């Protein structure tokens, strides 16, 4: 059964198990300052490749930038690799934490269970390659570009048009503007799917939920590393579906395996979870 691993501190592991819940936190406040900004870069690459004019490129960029300002993604980050030294050092309190192996099947079930709620979940694999980014964005970009053309269509001074033709064109431009806004908003699905190739070693998957920065009451807040961070909590319900399949203890983690086993059992996670220590020789 496929397993996706969440690296975290011992304290975070304790909180996940005792609360039987996972927390999705703001991705724009993560250690990657380009989070949520690579869609704009992809659109700009496509626009320059099409040799668009300066004004059209500027309009496209402003439109996507507004989307980045409007939307934040709350994420629970996972990896295909459960015992990776860079992950231990970066996300598990310098290897004193743990790597929690979640069942991918369970996470897909949790996604479906929350699909129709106001705080829906989306599980996806992060894409790192620029060519893939552009392939994903290109269809929507092409539609937005065509709608821009309708909006900005100009006529020569000597071109005669009837009042009806002028009225129809105004209606068509208004409709194109509305459709362009909707198409631009639809790009939010890619904001936190794309990541720099510098991070590709992480082989990351994410559970993501979206919030609007223009609304209140859509999430809770907590303090982490001196910052106020938006988050949402999702219950790990129906534990008989076995959400956790494995726990790997970090290279510097010193809790005895039998204590971890009893801790998981006490909190309802069963006694069949594989518990082992990292193979990394790091101290």
Q: Which mean pLDDT values do the consecutive 10-residue runs of the chain (283 residues) have?
A: 95 97 94 90 92 84 86 95 96 96 97 85 96 96 86 68 76 83 89 95 96 81 89 94 97 97 95 94 88
Residue 161 covered by a domain = yes
What is the distance, to the nearest Å, from the Cα of residue 22 to the centroid of all Cα atoms in its chain?
15
Residue 269 covered by a domain = yes
Count CB atoms within 10 A of the CB of residue 250: 28
Domain that holds residue 182: 3-277
Residue 283 covered by a domain = no
Number of domains in the chain: 1
Residue 126's pLDDT is 97
Residue 163's pLDDT is 73
Residue 228 covered by a domain = yes
Residue 60's pLDDT is 84
CA distance 184 to 143: 9
Residue 282 covered by a domain = no
Residue 213 covered by a domain = yes
Residue 157's pLDDT is 59
Residue 60 covered by a domain = yes
Count CB atoms within 10 A of the CB of residue 269: 19
Residue 191 covered by a domain = yes
Residue 174's pLDDT is 83
């Amino acid at each position: 059964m496929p397993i996706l691993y969440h690296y975290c501190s011992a304290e975070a592991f304790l909180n996940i198990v005792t609360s039987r819940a996972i927390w999705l936190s703001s991705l724009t406040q993560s250690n990657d300052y380009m989070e949520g900004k690579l869609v704009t870069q992809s659109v700009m690459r496509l626009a320059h490749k099409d040799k668009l004019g300066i004004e059209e490129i500027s309009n496209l960029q402003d439109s996507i930038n507004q989307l980045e300002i409007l939307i934040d993604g709350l994420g629970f980050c996972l990896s295909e690799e459960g015992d990776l030294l860079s992950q231990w050092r970066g996300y598990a309190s310098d290897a004193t934490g743990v790597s929690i192996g979640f069942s991918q099947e369970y996470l897909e079930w949790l996604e479906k269970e929350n699909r129709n709620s106001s705080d829906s979940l989306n599980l996806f694999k992060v894409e790192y390659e620029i060519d893939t980014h552009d392939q994903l964005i290109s269809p929507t970009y092409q539609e937005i570009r065509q709608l821009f053309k309708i909006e900005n269509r100009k006529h020569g001074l000597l071109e005669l048009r009837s009042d009806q033709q002028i009225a129809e064109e105004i209606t068509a431009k208004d409709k194109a503007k509305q459709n362009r806004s909707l198409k631009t908003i639809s790009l939010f699905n890619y904001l936190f799917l794309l990541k720099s190739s510098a991070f590709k070693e992480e082989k990351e998957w994410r559970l993501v939920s979206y919030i609007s920065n223009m609304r209140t009451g859509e999430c809770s807040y907590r303090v982490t590393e001196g910052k106020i961070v938006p988050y949402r909590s999702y219950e790990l319900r129906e534990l008989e579906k076995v959400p956790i399949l494995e726990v790997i203890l970090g290279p510097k983690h010193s809790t005895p395996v039998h204590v971890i086993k009893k801790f998981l059992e006490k909190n309802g996670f069963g006694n069949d979870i594989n518990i082992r220590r990292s193979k990394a020789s790091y101290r």
